[in-house]
């Protein structure tokens, strides 16, 4: 199972997994207030092949004194090893701690681990990423009083946060975007064509789910927190040092406080936390250690001194969770979150505008010097509309994330200008979606009054081109479903941002919202194609299961750390599998997108063919029947000049009065009338959209008429 998980995460190969056999500390926190010995350095490494623990400790001491040391190792909330030793003893002798000298000191040593303890360490601990383990060393005076305490996170050097996963996920999103473009090109000029599935919106929505699952204020196992950080880019949280510095300057000039919430302060803390060991993984581990400490531990004053801090022994560490924790792990100050996302969005918009204008220039040059394809005519003429629809589609895809960050900024921001921008953009984006919603409903109401249904939303080319991005994947009877989706996006963003630091409220609220949407989809089954139906309902089912699993991490439920870690790994496997399936489906759709027939276009083409067949239909001539004699065929061209819509008696009199008439029998006159009426009705039905002609005012009971018609 560990090898399967490893392969899914894309974090290594089997030989690398089997070769790992070391556990080492990564950063440390002091777990005692007003300690006599100030620990500045702690490196502990356990080597599985030799069953030995190597330690390197250093710090300052106010006076020379003899101490006893106790080392405790825990993994997933369980104590797996404990050992007390006297640095001056025969079994473990550390000369530099015998006694601990006054002033600065440093000591290295080696402790053998008995085989009965070493056998209790599972082999997966050396390969699973983001190992949830801690090592704590307590120094005591000879009279038994604690004089120093330091605790550190254990690491095997592997993490679920891998840049390759970020790049692969970005590539999947780019492929979905390209596939959507190819699908639009293949159906150019057609109305009622559903977009390919999984679409760019489907993929980005799924990545948003994995990213926001890691933003809740719950006690995540480190492995899942690191995994969800791979998809933070999809929400606009992209680290960029120069951008963060510019945002800090903007905040400072508009009322922001940069003392403890700026890029420089994060950078200094990161450098400080990584200075004592080459194996340390930076500031993110410092936050993870703080998260795993008991809540009763006082993390203020000396208890929060970071590794490598030389002079400041009375700093403070603020416990963070949710969005703030994620942002700091990405080296983005929490007060800079909204402005970072706003600038990234502005850059994407600029790229889209420049790209469309460049495409317009290429098409114009193509039209002048080449054989311009007709399918691209609409793109060439309506590039401003294309640009507006593309930006609107981006707003629709990112609406939930935008609501989240705007609400977060309004609650936690310190710059009045950034708060104003958050309020204005939230109102603006919401107003744009409301405007299109109102316009679509007005159109649908108009079509229902004129035609009895809203099918023209799919069949009218102008309406389809302007508004189809909201309902193109839905069946004609469920065009309105985009409204519940917008409400769902708004509610989800408000719950995550509005209930920060309340993990139970966030998890329960999200579970209710996701379950309601799943119920709506299962009840109506609204999607136009089976593939789209299956993909979107599967994604929604996994969303509900994911949020249900997040409840395991809620501290109020009091579940064990082992249960949380197992649940986190299960979530990673499920979400990684669905991501891989989406990638495969995108590759398959890229092959068949130009070959698959559009169901709406197929139905429209069949209707047009039926109308043409009606126009060319030759009714059954009663005189051609095998049950009667076959008199000579009459001249129907001459017959057509008579009024075929007139009553039967009038037609009979006209027929008998024709030049050269030999006095046709009543039966033949009835047949002539039926042929003429059928041809006239066929011509009148050309503009009736395939509806059957009315029989009112005629004589369907006449035998000749009925047979011919």
Residue 466: its pLDDT value, please?
87
Residue 518: its pLDDT value, please?
94
pLDDT band at 381 (very low <50, low <70, confident <90, very high): confident
Q: Among 435-439, 452-456, 681-685, name the one with the lowest average pLDDT.
A: 681-685
The tens digit of pLDDT for each residue in 133-164 reads: 788 888 888 777 888 888 888 787 788 888 88
Nearest-angstrom CA–CA distance, 76 and 132: 5
Write the CB contacts of 624 (distance below 8 Å, at least 6 apart in sequence). 630
Residue 509 or 34, more confident: 509
Q: Across residues 452-461, what is the average pLDDT?
A: 86
pLDDT band at 678 (very low <50, low <70, confident <90, very high): very low
**Burial of 631: CB neighbours in 10 Å, binned 0-12, 13-18, 19+:** exposed
Nearest-angstrom CA–CA distance, 138 and 136: 7
pLDDT above 50 (res 625): no
Chain mean pLDDT for the chain: 74
447-451, 630-634, 692-696: which is most confident: 447-451
3-17, 47-61, 445-459: which is most confident: 445-459
Task: Transcribe 320-384 into DSSP letters.
Answer: --HHHHHHHHTT--GGGHHHHHHHHHHHHHHHHHHHHHHHHHHHHHHHHHS---GGGHHHHH-HH
Buried b (16+ CB within 10 A) or exposed e, 268-296: ebbebbbbbbebbbbbbbbbbbbbbbeee
Strands 37-47 and 22-30: antiparallel
Residue 187: its pLDDT value, please?
60
Helix (H) / strand (E) element for 2: namely helix 2-9
Domain ranges of the chain: 20-155, 617-708
Helices (H) and strands (E) in the chain, counts: 25, 8
Q: Across residues 662-687, what is the average pLDDT?
A: 47
Residue 397 or 385, more confident: 397
Q: Across residues 108-136, what is the average pLDDT?
A: 75
Task: Transcribe 295-316 into DSSP letters.
Answer: TTS--SGGGGPBTT-SS--S--
Nearest-angstrom CA–CA distance, 207 and 580: 12
pLDDT above 80 (res 303): no
pLDDT above 50 (res 597): yes
pLDDT band at 542 (very low <50, low <70, confident <90, very high): very high
Q: What whole-number percentage of the chain has pLDDT above 70?
A: 69
pLDDT above 70 (res 598): no
The tens digit of pLDDT for each residue in 553-570 reads: 988 888 888 888 888 888
Residue 313 or 31, more confident: 31
The tens digit of pLDDT for each residue in 37-91 reads: 787 877 878 888 888 878 787 888 878 888 888 878 787 777 777 878 787 876 6
Q: For the domain made up of 20-155, give the CATH fold.
A: Immunoglobulin-like (2.60.40)
Q: Across residues 325-339, what is the average pLDDT?
A: 88
116: number of Cβ within 10 Å: 7
**Burial of 530: CB neighbours in 10 Å, binned 0-12, 13-18, 19+:** exposed
- Is residue 478 a contact partner of residue 524, using CB atoms and an 8 Å limit? yes
Q: Across residues 490-494, what is the average pLDDT?
A: 94
Q: pTM value?
A: 0.71
Write the CB contacts of 403 (distance below 8 Å, at least 6 apart in sequence). 426, 489, 490, 492, 493, 494, 497
Residue 83: its pLDDT value, please?
78
Nearest-angstrom CA–CA distance, 513 and 627: 71
- List the Cα angle 698/704/708 in 5-degree steps: 85
């Amino acid at each position: 199972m560990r090898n399967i998980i490893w392969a899914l995460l894309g974090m290594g190969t089997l030989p690398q997994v089997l070769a790992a056999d070391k556990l080492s500390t990564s950063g440390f926190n002091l777990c005692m207030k007003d300690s006599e010995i100030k620990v500045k350095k702690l490196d502990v490494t356990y080597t599985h092949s030799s069953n030995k623990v190597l330690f390197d400790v250093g710090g300052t001491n106010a006076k020379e004194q003899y101490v006893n040391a106790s080392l405790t190792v825990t993994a997933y909330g369980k104590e797996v090893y404990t050992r007390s030793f006297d640095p001056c003893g025969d079994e473990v002798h550390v000369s530099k701690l015998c006694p601990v000298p006054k002033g600065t000191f440093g000591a290295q040593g080696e402790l053998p681990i008995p085989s009965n303890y070493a056998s209790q360490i599972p082999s997966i601990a050396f390969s699973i990423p983001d190992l949830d383990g801690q090592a704590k060393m307590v120094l005591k005076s000879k009279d038994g009083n604690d004089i120093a305490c330091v605790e550190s996170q254990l690491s095997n050097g592997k993490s679920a946060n891998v840049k390759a996963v970020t790049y692969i996920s970005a590539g999947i999103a780019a492929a979905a975007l390209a596939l959507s473009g190819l699908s639009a090109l293949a159906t150019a000029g057609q109305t009622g064509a559903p977009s390919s599935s999984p679409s760019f919106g489907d993929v980005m929505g799924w990545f948003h789910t994995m990213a926001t699952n890691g933003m809740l204020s719950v006690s995540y196992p480190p492995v899942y927190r690191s995994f969800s950080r791979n998809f933070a880019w999809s929400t606009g949280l992209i680290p960029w040092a120069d951008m963060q510095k510019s945002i800090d300057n903007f905040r400072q000039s508009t009322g922001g406080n940069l003392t403890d919430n700026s890029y420089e302060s994060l950078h200094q803390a990161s450098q400080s936390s990584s200075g004592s060991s080459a194996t340390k993984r930076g500031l993110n581990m410092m936050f993870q250690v703080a998260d795993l400490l008991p809540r009763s531990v006082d993390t203020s004053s000396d208890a929060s001194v970071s590794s490598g801090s030389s002079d400041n022994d009375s700093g403070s560490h603020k416990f963070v969770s949710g969005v703030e924790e994620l942002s700091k792990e990405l080296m983005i100050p929490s007060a800079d979150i909204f402005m970072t996302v706003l600038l990234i969005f502005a850059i994407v918009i600029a790229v889209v505008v420049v790209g469309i204008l460049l495409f317009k220039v290429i098409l114009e040059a193509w039209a002048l010097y080449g054989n311009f394809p007709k399918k691209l005519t609409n793109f060439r003429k309506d590039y401003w509309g294309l640009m507006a629809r593309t930006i609107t589609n981006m707003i629709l895809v990112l609406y939930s994330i935008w609501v989240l960050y705007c609400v977060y900024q309004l609650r936690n921001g310190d710059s009045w200008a950034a708060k104003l921008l958050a309020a204005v953009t939230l109102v603006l984006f919401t107003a744009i979606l409301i405007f299109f919603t109102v316009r679509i409903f007005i159109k649908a109401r108009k079509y229902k009054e004129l035609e009895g249904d809203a099918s023209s939303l799919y069949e009218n080319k102008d309406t389809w081109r302007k508004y189809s991005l909201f309902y193109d994947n839905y069946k004609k009877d469920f065009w309105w479903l985009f409204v519940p989706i917008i409400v769902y996006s708004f509610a989800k963003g408000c719950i995550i941002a509005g209930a920060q630091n309340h993990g139970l409220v966030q998890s329960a609220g999200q579970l209710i919202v996701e379950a309601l949407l799943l119920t709506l989809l299962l009840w109506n089954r609204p999607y136009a194609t089976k593939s789209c139906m299956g993909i979107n309902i599967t994604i929604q089912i996994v969303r509900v299961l994911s949020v249900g699993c997040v409840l395991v991490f809620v501290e109020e439920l009091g579940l064990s750390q082992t249960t949380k870690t197992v649940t986190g790994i299960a979530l990673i496997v499920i979400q990684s599998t669905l991501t891989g399936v989406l990638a495969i489906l995108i590759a398959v759709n890229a092959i068949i997108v130009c070959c698959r027939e559009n169901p709406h276009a197929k139905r429209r083409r069949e209707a047009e063919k039926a109308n043409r067949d009606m126009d060319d239909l030759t009714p059954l001539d009663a005189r051609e029947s095998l049950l009667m004699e076959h008199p000579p065929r009459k001249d129907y061209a001459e017959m057509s000049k008579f009024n075929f819509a007139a009553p039967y008696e009038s037609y009979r009199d006209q027929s008998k009065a024709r030049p050269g008439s030999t006095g046709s029998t009543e039966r033949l006159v009835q047949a002539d009338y039926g042929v003429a009426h059928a041809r006239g009705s066929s011509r009148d039905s050309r503009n009736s959209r395939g509806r059957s002609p009315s029989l009112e005012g005629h004589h369907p009971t006449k035998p000749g008429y009925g047979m011919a018609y």
